[in-house]
Amino acid sequence: MRRVVTTARPDWRAKAAECGFGFHTIDDAPYWDESAYYAFTLREIEHGLEAPSEELHAMALDMVERIVGSERHMQQLAIPEPYRDWIAQSWRQRDPHLYGRLDFAYDGTGPAKLYELNYDTPTSLFEAAFFQWQWLEDQLARGQLPAGSDQFNSIYESLVEAFGTIARRIARPFHFAAVRASAEDQGTVAYLRDCALQAGIDCGLLAIEDIGLSEDGRFTDLDDQVIGCLFKLYPLEDLFRESFGAYLPRAGLQLIEPPWKALLSNKGILPLLWEAHPGHPNLLPAMFDDGGELPRGWVRKPLHSREGANIAMRLDDGRQLATGGPYDGPCIRQACHPLPAFDGHHPLLGSWVVGDRACGIGIREDSTLITQDSARFVPHAIIEEARGVLIA
C-alpha cells in the first residue's frame, strides 16, 4: 500500500456536474481529491481487507442474535425501552437489509483494525461506487495509471443485485428519503434509487421533512398515500428522540435499513464483539466507558456519533486530541491504534458490504488522526505486480 501523487483529470469538475456529483466541494474546501491515489496489491485487498470484512460482518450479525435476546445488552447500548421489542421482532423476522460500511485502520503491513461499523446510514457511497470507478477508467485511458490497473469496486453491481434479491419483500409504495438541505445525503439516496430502478423496482424520492402522519398513526407521502417501505438516510436514534418516532413500532412501516441495524450502528457493538472474540486480529480491545480519566493508549467515543465528532484520544506518549460536536450520553473506550501516515496524510479505509458480501472500498484522508467531516475522499487502484515488484 502506498500513496501516489498524480495529475488530476482536467475535466473532472465538468464530469462531476454531468453525473450530479454536486458535493465534491464542501464549504469551499475540496472533498473529492484526485491529486493522489492509494495503490494496493491484489493480496492486500483480498487478504487484508476483503476477507476480514466478510468475517467481521458475519460476527456482527451473530452478535445481533445475542443482543436481541439480552435485556442487559439492550441497556448497554442505550436502546430506548419502547423500541426494544420492535427491534427484536425486526431481527427475528429477518427484515431485509441492504448494505453497510466497516471503517478500518490499515497500512498494508499488519491486520486491518476495525474502528467502527456504519450500518444504518453509511455515506460516501456514490463517490466510492461510481465516481472513483470513472476516475480509474479515465486515468487508464490517459496513461496516468499502469496498464492493467484495477480497483476493488463492484459496489454498483452488488447494489443492483441486492435490490433484485429483496425486491419481492419490499412493501409498496417504496420511497427514498433524506434531509432536503443535505446535498451529500440527497446525492446518496438519488444514487441508491437509481440502483433500485435498475433492479426493476418502482420507487419514489422525497425529503424527510415531507413525510406526513395520518390520523391513525401511519406515515404518508406527498400524495397522502401510506408509505409501504421507506429507505431513510436518517439516523434511527434521532428518530427515536423525535415526536413522530413514537409511532414507528406500530405504524406498519417497513424500513431499509431495518430497525435491527440500530444495534450495529451503535458503537456499543465494539466492546460486545471484543468480549465475544477477545484477541481477534482485526478487533481492537474495547469496553464500556465508566466516565473516569482516559488512560494513555485509549480513545473515548459516544455510542452515537458521526464524522469524528466528540472523540477524545490519548496517545501512548500522553498527547491528547479531542473534537467537539453535538453528541453526548454513554460512551465506550477503544484501544488507541492510530491511523497510518502517508506523507502527513492519514487514510481511513471504508470497506463496503452489500448483500452480505464485501465488494469495494472508499478512502477518506485527513491531516489529523481523527477523521472528521472535513476529510477528503481519495481514489484507489490495484496495481499489477511483476516478479514481486510493483509496476510504477
Looking at 293, 308, 335, the residue that finishes a domain is: 335
Is the pLDDT at 387 greater than 70? The verdict is no
Is the pLDDT at 391 greater than 80? The verdict is no
Predicted local confidence at residue 385, as pLDDT: 60
Can you give the C-alpha Rg of the chain in angstroms? 21
Q: What is the pLDDT of residues 363-381, one digit of tens each?
A: 999 999 999 988 999 999 9
Q: What is the pLDDT of residues 315-366, one digit of tens each?
A: 999 999 999 999 989 999 999 999 999 999 999 999 999 999 999 999 999 9
pLDDT-based confidence at residue 384 (cuts at 50, 70, 90): confident
Q: What is the biggest distance separating any 2 CA atoms in the chain, rounded to whole angstroms?
A: 70
> Residue 241's closest CA among 300, 328, 323?
328
Q: What angle do CA 151, 152, 154 make, to 5 degrees?
A: 105
Clarify whether residues 227 and 106 are in a common domain.
yes
276 is a domain residue:
no
Residue 246 has what DSSP assignment?
A: G
280 is a domain residue:
no
Cα–Cα distances in Å, from 273 out to 235, 284, 343? 22, 9, 33
Residue 9 has what DSSP assignment?
A: P
Clarify whether residues 321 and 361 are in a common domain.
no
Contact 348, 364 (CB under 8 A): yes
Q: What is the mean pLDDT of residues 198-225?
A: 97
Cα–Cα distances in Å, from 116 out to 85, 131, 301, 385? 25, 24, 10, 31
Clarify whether residues 115 and 213 are in a common domain.
yes
Clarify whether residues 158 and 297 are in a common domain.
no
pLDDT-based confidence at residue 390 (cuts at 50, 70, 90): very low
Q: What is the dihedral of CA 223, 226, 232, 235, to 10 degrees?
A: 120
Clarify whether residues 152 and 245 are in a common domain.
yes
- For residue 202, the tally of other CB atoms under 10 A from its CB is 11
Residue 198 CA to residue 243 CA, distance in Å, equals 35
Clarify whether residues 186 and 209 are in a common domain.
yes
pTM of the entire predicted model? 0.96
Cα–Cα distances in Å, from 32 out to 25, 109, 374? 7, 26, 11
For 385, left (φ over 0), alpha (ψ -120 to 50), or beta? beta
105 is a domain residue:
yes
The residue with cell 487502484 is 381
Looking at 316, 335, 354, the residue that finishes a domain is: 335
Domain hosting residue 237, numbered range: 2-268+339-390
Q: What is the mean pLDDT of residues 196-200?
A: 98
278 is a domain residue:
no
Q: What is the pLDDT of residues 70-127, one digit of tens each?
A: 999 999 999 999 999 999 999 999 999 999 999 999 999 999 999 999 999 999 999 9
Q: What is the pLDDT of residues 23-75, one digit of tens each?
A: 999 888 899 999 999 999 999 999 999 999 999 999 999 999 999 999 999 99
- Number of domains composing the chain: 2
Clarify whether residues 99 and 183 are in a common domain.
yes
Clarify whether residues 199 and 311 are in a common domain.
no
Span between the terminal Cα atoms of the chain, in Å: 13
**Phi, psi for 44 (deg, rounded to 5):** -60, -40
273 is a domain residue:
no
